[in-house]
């Protein structure tokens, strides 16, 4: 039994922290905050360039694809530190799509896409959800028909979050209409500038932008279908598993909590230091313990990957626990700050930059998004404990 970072892991963490000290300034943190950690503002792009210059774009990519070849634990450390610092995340292009292409693409596809991703020239929006297909991806209706050497794509996607700034869409489409629902999907890369692609903004509760994506007779080369026809459902699941690893990190929760704690230490309300309120002390202590529990779940998931296991149950545990914990942090923050905490993030006098009420509005998405927590709990039961389906 050993829970300490190895010397190499600790050195890596220090290296990451050094990089953050050099490359994250209040301007970047503020831009990232205003864009809700999803934007691509000029400072974020500069930060991403610095990551690439450091050779840190594909941290966990094998070296043969230009990556650093770091372990999953080391990638987890990186994500945790980045989130904790409030810096822009690595794009899902790098952490989710690229690793999937590495595993399922043919040689030509790898040569075509991976170097461009590595250079920062490609940024994907993720096209899984549709109006009638949320967590239930097998219901996807967007379809593509082969016409000569081109696929002709028609349909609509929802929650296509980066569509307005992305260069391409990583699209789940139905290519085998006669196959069973799960076997009829393929993954396809669609350039955003292809004729027939339209993007319509959707604004959601925390003030973030996402998009609806419309595809009207969009033509893409035959070779843009990645891997095997009909295997899209499994590829998307693989990509989502890579994605969940990042969601399960408690870095953001730690950052929000740290800001809250700092404020509690300083504030005086009704003539009394806020930190002397017993209920505030208890809430803070509970959240700290919960964050430590969440950290353990994330770290174990990463460790299991390094042991060569596919930790589906573990990553679901981390996702469920952390998403529900963030909600508790947000609610505690709102209650502790009281009237001071309910100001809109754009109000200059909003405490902790309005993050507590923002987090309160964001938190539901963490639980229903990325595969609802119900499905995650099903996965834990089925894959973690072998419970029967019938």
Please list the active-site residues.
243
Residue 285: CB minimum distance to a second copy, A: 10
Tell me if residue 210 falls in helix, strand or coil.
strand
Instruction: Give residue for tokens 């001071």.
Output: 340
Tell me how crowded residue 136 is: count the other CB atoms within 10 A of its CB.
Answer: 13
The one segment of 59-67, 144-152, 244-252, 315-323 that binds another protein by CB under 8 A: 315-323
The one segment of 126-134, 230-238, 277-285, 349-357 that binds a second copy by CB under 8 A: 277-285
Q: Verify binding: residue 271, a second copy, rule CB under 8 A.
A: no
Q: Verify binding: residue 203, a second copy, rule CB under 8 A.
A: no
Distance (Å, rounded) from C-alpha 164 to C-alpha 38?
A: 11
Residue 129 contacts which entry, a second copy, another protein, none (Cβ below 5-8 A, type-dependent): another protein
Q: Are strands 124-127 and 168-174 parallel, antiparallel or unpaired?
A: parallel
Phi, psi of 354 (to 5 degrees): 70, 15
The one segment of 38-46, 148-156, 172-180, 380-388 that binds another protein by CB under 8 A: 380-388
In residues, how long is the chain?
390
Residue from the set 14, 119, 216, 282 that interacts with a second copy by CB under 8 A: 282
Q: Verify binding: residue 205, a second copy, rule CB under 8 A.
A: no
Q: Verify binding: residue 223, another protein, rule CB under 8 A.
A: no
Q: Verify binding: residue 374, a second copy, rule CB under 8 A.
A: no
Chain Cα centroid distance, residue 197: 24
Tell me how crowded residue 361 is: count the other CB atoms within 10 A of its CB.
Answer: 16
Residue from the set 15, 150, 300, 353 that interacts with another protein by CB under 8 A: 300
* C-beta of residue 175 within 8 angstroms of C-beta of residue 134: no
Residue 372 contacts which entry, a second copy, another protein, none (Cβ below 5-8 A, type-dependent): another protein
Residue from the set 6, 8, 10, 279 that interacts with a second copy by CB under 8 A: 279
- CA-CA-CA-CA torsion sign (305, 311, 314, 319): positive
Distance (Å, rounded) from C-alpha 90 to C-alpha 61?
A: 13
Q: Verify binding: residue 286, another protein, rule CB under 8 A.
A: yes
Q: Name the site residues for a second copy (rule: CB under 8 A).
A: 278-279, 281-282
């Amino acid at each position: 039994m050993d829970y300490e970072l190895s010397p190499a892991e600790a050195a890596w963490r220090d290296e990451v922290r050094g990089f953050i000290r050099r490359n994250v300034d209040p301007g970047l943190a503020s831009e990232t905050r205003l864009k809700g950690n999803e934007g691509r503002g000029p400072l974020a792009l500069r930060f991403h360039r610095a990551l690439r210059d450091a050779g840190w774009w594909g941290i966990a990519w094998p070296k043969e694809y230009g990556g650093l070849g770091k372990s999953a634990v080391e990638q987890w450390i990186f994500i945790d530190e980045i989130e904790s610092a409030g810096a822009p995340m690595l794009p899902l292009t790098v952490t989710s799509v690229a690793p999937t292409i590495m595993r399922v693409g043919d040689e030509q596809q790898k040569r075509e896409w991976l170097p461009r991703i590595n250079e920062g020239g490609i940024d994907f929006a993720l096209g899984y959800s549709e109006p009638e297909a949320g967590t239930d991806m097998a219901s996807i209706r967007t379809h593509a028909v082969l016409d000569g050497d081109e696929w002709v794509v028609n349909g609509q996607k929802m929650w296509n979050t980066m569509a307005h700034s992305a260069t391409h869409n990583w699209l789940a489409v139905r290519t085998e209409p006669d196959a069973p629902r799960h076997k009829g999907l393929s993954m396809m890369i669609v350039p955003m500038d292809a004729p027939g692609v339209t993007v319509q903004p959707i604004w959601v509760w925390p003030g973030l932008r996402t998009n609806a994506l419309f595809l009207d007779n969009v033509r893409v080369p035959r070779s843009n279908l990645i891997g095997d026809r009909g295997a899209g459902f499994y590829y998307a699941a693989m990509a989502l598993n890579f994605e969940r690893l990042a969601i399960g990190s408690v870095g953001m929760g730690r950052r929000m909590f740290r800001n809250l704690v700092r404020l509690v230490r300083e504030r005086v309300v009704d003539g009394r230091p806020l930190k002397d309120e017993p209920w505030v002390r208890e809430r803070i202590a509970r959240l700290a313990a919960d964050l430590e529990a969440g950290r353990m779940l994330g770290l174990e998931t990463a460790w299991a990957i390094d042991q060569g296991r596919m930790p589906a149950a573990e990553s679901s545990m981390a996702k469920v626990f952390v998403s529900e914990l963030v909600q508790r942090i947000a609610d505690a923050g709102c209650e502790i700050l009281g009237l001071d905490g309910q100001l809109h993030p754009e109000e200059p006098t909003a405490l902790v930059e309005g993050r507590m009420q923002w987090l309160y509005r964001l938190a539901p998405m963490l639980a229903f998004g990325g595969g609802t927590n119900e499905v995650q709990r099903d996965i834990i039961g089925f894959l973690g404990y072998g419970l029967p389906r019938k």
